[in-house]
Structure 1
Amino acid sequence: MMKRFPIHIQGRTLALVVVLVPLLALFIYVALRSGPLAPVPVTVTTVEDRAISPALFGIGTIEARYTYKIGPTFAGRIKRLDAQVGDTVTAGQVLGEMDPVDLDERIQGQEAALKRAKALLSEALARQGYAQTQSRRYEQLLEVRAISEETVATKKHELQVAEAGLNAAREELARVQADREALIAQRKNLKLVAPVDGLITARDADPGTTIVAGQAVVELIDPKSLWVNVRFDQIRAHGLAAKLPATIVLRSQTVELPRGRVLRVEPLADAVTEETLAKVVFDQLPEPLPPIGELAEVTVALPPLPAAPVIPNAAVQQRNGGLGVWQVHNGDLRFTPVILGAADLDGNVQVREGLQAGDQVIVYSAKSLSARNRITIVDRIPGVKP
């Protein structure tokens, strides 16, 4: 026999069910719309076949191709220095002078020694001429038997001694002349002379300073030889070559400078930073000249590529050590590995393998995705810049 509940208990149960069912429905609705089971908002794009113009972006510093360090060839003290940093000088211009100390007196001593050597040479010439005349005269007397052969031999010996003295006098004169010329050349080297037209960029010593041989006093650059030493990421440096056009923007300026070109790609790369080095020159030097060492942003335009599947770079994800994209296929998600090609500076990248024109891929998502996620396609995700 079935047991019956009191009527008041059945009423309470029915009222509880009436309250709980809408609450449960509301909970399920909220969970499916905004809870962990809610679909993830995403933005998508369609893969297109089109050509892109890739470019390389790098950071470099302004450098001078030709730098001249001007200093003395021997140790000494700076007597005067007329060059100041920022001065423009011409080839042959005297920038300063070293203290000669005793060089002038030594040159005067060599002048006196030169006069003495010339006098000794004149004396030796006279002796040699007299000895030669006497030797001929006594040979003639020997022919008529007016003198003995021993006397003739003595005169010949005197001629040989005179000729040896003449040779020694000539050697001494040559030595004194060489010493004098060396001192004069050394005296000329006391002047610090600009080898080319250029700009003074450094002054490393002041008058009264004693410096060693080879130490630089001033540094001079050829302003026409300015270039940018640029570093490019090796991963994206494929296609970088000489003569490619480039644009240069200095850190101190916001406007684009006159265009330049790649002069050469350095054969040695930086193994530590994994960067390729290149030298970029200006087609026309900017006015005023940028300071040496200033940073510059360089963009090198690479040759246009033929049409290929293109996607935004933001769509590329890294998963399990490989690159790929989240592809929308018949409303489902799947991670598709891709092999990428060249990219441009607008954020587009070519896909060599993995996708074809017409495929739909996710660009941005409100959170990390998995294959089990449900998605909803929106035009824009709040807080994400397209």
Structure 2
Amino acid sequence: MNAAAQSIIAYCRAGYEVDTGNELTAIATARELYGYPAFKPGDGFVRFQFYEPDHAAQFISQVAVHDTIFPRQLFLVLETIQIEDKSDRIGPILDALADAATGRSGLLFVDYPDTDEGKTLAKLCRKFAVPLRQALRARDLLSKKEHTGLPALHVFFTSGEQCYLGVSQAKQRSPFENGICRLKFPPKAPSRSTLKLEEALLTMLSAAQRDAICRPGARAVDLGACPGGWTYQLVSRDMHVEAVDNGKMADDLMATGLVDYRAEDGFKYRPQMGHVELLVCDMIEKPDRVAVLMANWLTRNWATHAIFNLKLPMKRRYETVTAAIETVRAQLNAANIKASMVIRHLYHNRDEVTVAVIREK
């Protein structure tokens, strides 16, 4: 078997290759699927090579992007393609697919790393996707219409002369090009941090969870609220928000009548009515301290659910996150609280990860 078929590709933010590799190693080892990460710092992706021929396929069938922290996209590598003739990039891909006998795919992703160098490939990828899609459909290798339930075909360019060809399963992959959920900044939002919570609500919660939690009239607390980027997302959904911070809130938010501003210490604050539906927090504090605070709110039933950010150190970021999450999980277990927990390094995050803790009914 080609060595490429024993590997997977994981997209990540440039500079987070070590953390992504450490996470993939931990996940694989826990499943007794052994291998090692290969990358160059700043590449914006990691190739994880497995020792056994079938372990890459097992990993990719068991692990979803949504259940990881740092990967933005995951796919099984079928072939590493060197482009010798730039006038024919399609031919080598069709030949590789014929050898792999993958069957029909429902989607085509032509992606590139989210780096300054990688972005120079954006125009190539956009132009290349159209004739490749036509060629695949002509050979019945791609459905005539997009079919999200079928496997997806990935062509990931790392340069104009090389690409990885691979596949992913419907429930395991990110639905976004380059694994990136791109959002437009709302012109009335007081800060760009609003995009962090919007992305979290759209990608970390199901539609049913979002409708149930962020319903009109529900109450929320925003710790570290000023100037109101996260509060804006909640108010735009007609929620009542207790905004806690020593800074100044945006006048437009205060004018809605849905914001109760409290100039208090977020670590000492308690909800005005004893309980809220949702706690959100984007305070610049040590992650272990924030984790304890969030766990206290949830176990003491001051909040039913929580979405919060954990600021990351320069080194050992994966280890720092997992330690903080274990603090929250241990307290929830001790209180016999059943909750789902999603931890993601979102596109609109920088040096933080977002955690969503949703209590089960």
TM over 0.5: no
Q: TM-score, normalised by structure 2?
A: 0.19
The structure in which a higher percent of residues are strand is 1
Q: TM-score, normalised by structure 1?
A: 0.19
Which has the higher relative contact order, 1 or 2, with Cα contacts under 8 A spaced 6 or more apart?
1
